[in-house]
Chains A and B, each alone.
Chain A
Amino acid sequence: MSEPLLTVEGLRTHFFTKAGVVKAVDDVSFTVGRGEVVGLVGESGCGKSMTGYSLMGLIDAPGRIVDGSIVLSGVDLRALSAEEMRNLRGNRIAMIFQDPMMTLNPVLRIDAQMMEAIEAHEKVTRGEARARARAALVRVGIASPDERLEAYPHQFSGGMRQRVAIAIAMLMSPDLIIADEPTTALDVTIQGQILYEMQKLTRDTGTALIWITHDLSVIAGLADRVCVMYAGRIVEQGTAQEVLGEPAHPYTRGLLDSVPSNHEHGYRLRQIPGMTPSLLELPPGCPFRERCAYATAVCDESPAMRPVGGPEQTVRCYHPLVPEHA
Chain B
Amino acid sequence: MSANPATDAGQPAPVDPPLVELQGVSKRFVKSLDLAARIANNFGAHAREEVVRAVDHVDLTVAAGEVVGLVGESGCGKSTLGRLIVGLLSLSSGQRFWRGIALERLDAGAARRQQLKMQMIFQDPYASLNPRMRVVDIVGEAPVAHRLVRPKAQVEYVGLMLNRVGLDPTLMRRYPHQFSGGQRARIGIARALAVKPEFLVCDESVAALDVSIQAQVLNLFMELKNALNLTYLFISHDLGVVKYLSDRVVVMYLGRVVESAPAAELFAAPNHPYTQALLAEVGRVEPKKRTFVPIKGEIPSPLDPPPGCHFHPRCPFVMPKCRESAPPLVEIAPGRRSACFLNAP
Q: Name A239's closest neighbour in chain B (CB-CB).
A: B287
B binding-site residues for A, Cβ under 8 Å: 3, 73-74, 180, 182, 210-216, 218-219, 222, 237-241, 243-246, 263-264, 277-278, 280-296, 298-299
Q: Name A188's closest neighbour in chain B (CB-CB).
A: B281
**The one of A243, A261, A271, A275 that contacts B283, using a Cβ cutoff of 8 Å:** A261
* Separation of A215 and B209 alpha carbons in the complex (Å): 12
A-B contacts counted at CB < 8 A amount to 147
| Contact assessment for B239 and A188 in the assembled complex, using a CB-CB cutoff below 8 Å | yes
Give 22 pairs: A residue, B residue, CB < 8 Å, sorted on A: A43-B211, A43-B213, A160-B298, A192-B292, A195-B292, A217-B283, A240-B289, A241-B287, A255-B211, A259-B285, A260-B243, A260-B245, A261-B241, A261-B284, A262-B285, A263-B244, A265-B3, A269-B215, A269-B219, A269-B244, A271-B215, A275-B213
Question: B225 to chain A: closest CB distance in Å?
Answer: 10
**The one of B219, B263, B283, B295 that contacts A218, using a Cβ cutoff of 8 Å:** B283
A5 at the interface (CB under 8 A from B): no
Residues of A within 8 A of B (CB-CB), count:
49
| Contact assessment for A217 and B284 in the assembled complex, using a CB-CB cutoff below 8 Å | yes
Evaluate whether A261 and B281 lie within 8 angstroms (CB atoms) in the complex, with A192-B295, A220-B287, A272-B212 already known. no
Evaluate whether A271 and B212 lie within 8 angstroms (CB atoms) in the complex, with A188-B278, A189-B73, A240-B287 already known. yes
**The one of A190, A214, A258 that contacts B298, using a Cβ cutoff of 8 Å:** A190
Contact with B along A242-282 (1 / 0, CB 8 A): 11110000000011111111110110111111011000000
Q: Name B213's closest neighbour in chain A (CB-CB).
A: A275
Question: A158 to chain B: closest CB distance in Å?
Answer: 8
| Contact assessment for B237 and A272 in the assembled complex, using a CB-CB cutoff below 8 Å | no
* Separation of A273 and B74 alpha carbons in the complex (Å): 31
Contact with B along A187-222 (1 / 0, CB 8 A): 111111101100100000000000000111110111
| Contact assessment for B212 and A157 in the assembled complex, using a CB-CB cutoff below 8 Å | no
Question: B258 to chain A: closest CB distance in Å?
Answer: 13
Contact with B along A18-51 (1 / 0, CB 8 A): 0000000000000000000000000110000000
Question: A154 to chain B: closest CB distance in Å?
Answer: 14
* Separation of A160 and B298 alpha carbons in the complex (Å): 9
* Separation of A157 and B299 alpha carbons in the complex (Å): 10
Contact with B along A159-196 (1 / 0, CB 8 A): 11000000000000000000000000001111111011
| Contact assessment for A189 and B243 in the assembled complex, using a CB-CB cutoff below 8 Å | no
Q: Name A221's closest neighbour in chain B (CB-CB).
A: B290
Q: Name B3's closest neighbour in chain A (CB-CB).
A: A266
| Contact assessment for B287 and A244 in the assembled complex, using a CB-CB cutoff below 8 Å | yes
4 new A-B pairs (CB below 8 Å) besides A260-B214, A261-B240, A275-B212? A43-B211, A221-B288, A260-B241, A261-B285
Evaluate whether A188 and B73 lie within 8 angstroms (CB atoms) in the complex, with A218-B283, A261-B243, A265-B3 already known. yes
| Contact assessment for B243 and A265 in the assembled complex, using a CB-CB cutoff below 8 Å | yes
Contacts of B74 in A (CB 8 A): 187
| Contact assessment for B212 and A189 in the assembled complex, using a CB-CB cutoff below 8 Å | no
Leading 5 A-B pairs by shortest Cβ distance = A217-B283, A261-B240, A266-B3, A260-B244, A258-B215
Evaluate whether A269 and B292 lie within 8 angstroms (CB atoms) in the complex, with A214-B210, A217-B285 already known. no
Q: Name B246's closest neighbour in chain A (CB-CB).
A: A265
Contacts of B280 in A (CB 8 A): 192
Evaluate whether A261 and B211 lie within 8 angstroms (CB atoms) in the complex, with A221-B289, A245-B287 already known. no
Evaluate whether A222 and B215 lie within 8 angstroms (CB atoms) in the complex, with A260-B243, A268-B222, A275-B180 already known. no
